[in-house]
A and B are shown apart, each in its own frame.
Chain A
């Protein structure tokens, strides 16, 4: 009962906070503080217009399909690579430096290389998403295997459990929650990667659209597109969080 009440409270407070921020935005926008900040209602109207425009729908389609192809691919590859690195020390030593590198280096810098390799189309964007998300899934999965309790392993061994049973009954269930939160984090980064990649390419997808709006000083459209991406991010991450809760630990 308490949890349900506090869940309701957190939703209510979140809603109030968003409404408050939008109201503040509207007031500051109406006051005409800066031409870079139009009032919220103009952005909302621009968003309604955008949603019905062909160019926008095409861009959204492009970005979503790139994510839909890249994300499952990365999650599968990341979970497998992360599990192997978690289980086999040799592989961990081999791949750890690259994961650390990928998490600390600004990935924007390598996008031009990917453009050189794959051109200005969808393949480049998919590659950018993979590069953005893979390390997060891998590192979290490895951390999951690291959190295995040595006592559990000793227990399984004392009963003569096979390696397969140890994996199935002890190692995988231990690693699963952290691996799942890696997947959730990766979903946010997948959207980020797609938009950033498209902005650099400049021609395709929602990132391209945002780039063009920015270049043309179409401030209302620019904000509308950003708001749309924000909503998309919240929806995707929430969906995955829900899915994560459903998966039995």
Chain B
């Protein structure tokens, strides 16, 4: 469970204070899949970094599984937009990195990493290097690395943003299947894609810019089990139309204010 309480983050940018996110309150329940979506500059990645413990907020607290965090922790694992694999390490060593960081013995961590890679459909690629893999396969390694440490909370920062549309859809489906297997996991998923958010999530957190804040939290009214079938239904279209109108409104308002500033 992730409990965000009054989190504000202010940076100095060119000597001017800049509020990335302001007074964020959000609870993601155990086993819930929450997507965070909004125009660029709404602070969604900053918020995820705060949950990951990579950035310390100026105000407010984040409680994960009952403990107030003050840095990264073993109950969380992060998946990065640009994969961030170690180019000089094999696929197997990459997938095992999180376990290595946690001091798991070599044989054991390799066994677990091998298992996770197999789940991601990467058996036979253990001794390859990341550059020999396609983007989609590299991100599969990134996901295997995160799942290998068996985190109760999985944090994903636009993990499919750098992939082509077809690969992206396939990855979404596989992630959802994986999710069904691991019931206890909580997910915070930052994305730019509305369809992706609808397809994957239980709830969608709409964020707005200037300062970054939560605009609305929307329950996805379709059960997660048969999302793939739901995509063709009429009420699905109605829902995505609503979501789109909200996003479009925010994006345009943001463009207007920026125009007025300039």
List residues of chain A with CB under 8 Å of any chain B CB.
149, 151-152, 154-162, 165, 169-170, 173, 248-249
Contacts and interface: CB of A to CB of B under 8 A. Distances in A.
Interface stretch (B79-87, B191-199, B210-218, B241-249): B79-87
B53 interface: yes
Nearest to B103: A162
A169 B89 contact: yes
Contacts of B102: 159-160
Interface in B93-110: 97-98, 100-102
A151 B84 contact: yes
Interface of B: 52-54, 72-74, 76-78, 80, 82, 84, 86, 88-89, 97-98, 100-102, 145, 149
Contacts of A159: 72, 77-78, 97-98, 101-102, 145, 149
Contact of A158 (B54, B82, B88, B89): B54
A248 B53 CA distance: 33
A162 B103 CA distance: 10
Contacts of B84: 149, 151-152, 154-155
A161 to B, nearest CB: 4
A248 B78 contact: no
A155 B77 contact: no
Given A152-B86, A170-B86, A162 B80 contact: no
A160 B73 contact: yes
A160 B101 contact: yes
A161 B73 CA distance: 10
Contacts of B100: 161, 165, 169
A13 to B, nearest CB: 29
A160 B80 CA distance: 15
CB-based closest 3 A-B pairs: A161-B101, A159-B98, A159-B101
B86 A158 contact: no
Contacts of B52: 158
A248 B80 contact: no
Nearest to A172: B88
A160 B145 CA distance: 13
A207 to B, nearest CB: 41
Contacts of A152: 84, 86
Contacts of A160: 72-74, 101-102
Contact of A169 (B73, B82, B97): B97
A249 B97 CA distance: 17
Given A154-B54, A155-B78, 15 more contacts: A149-B84, A156-B97, A157-B54, A159-B72, A159-B97, A159-B98, A159-B149, A160-B102, A161-B97, A161-B101, A162-B101, A169-B100, A173-B86, A173-B89, A249-B88
Contacts of B149: 159
A151 to B, nearest CB: 5
Contacts of A162: 101
Nearest to B73: A160
A169 B86 contact: yes
Contacts of A151: 80, 82, 84
Given A152-B86, A248-B88, A158 B53 contact: yes
A158 B97 contact: no
A246 to B, nearest CB: 15
B196 to A, nearest CB: 22
Contacts of B72: 157-160
Contacts of A165: 100-101
A169 B101 CA distance: 10
10 contacts: A149-B84, A157-B54, A157-B72, A158-B52, A158-B53, A159-B78, A159-B149, A161-B97, A165-B101, A169-B100
Contacts of B74: 160
A154 B80 CA distance: 10
Nearest to B76: A158
A158 B75 CA distance: 11
Nearest to A166: B101
Contacts of B77: 158-159
A169 B85 CA distance: 11
A248 B89 CA distance: 10
B63 to A, nearest CB: 18
A16 to B, nearest CB: 35
Contacts of A249: 88
A154 B84 CA distance: 9
A164 to B, nearest CB: 11
Contacts of B145: 159
B135 to A, nearest CB: 15
A163 B101 CA distance: 10
A76 B98 CA distance: 32
B64 to A, nearest CB: 13
A170 B100 CA distance: 13
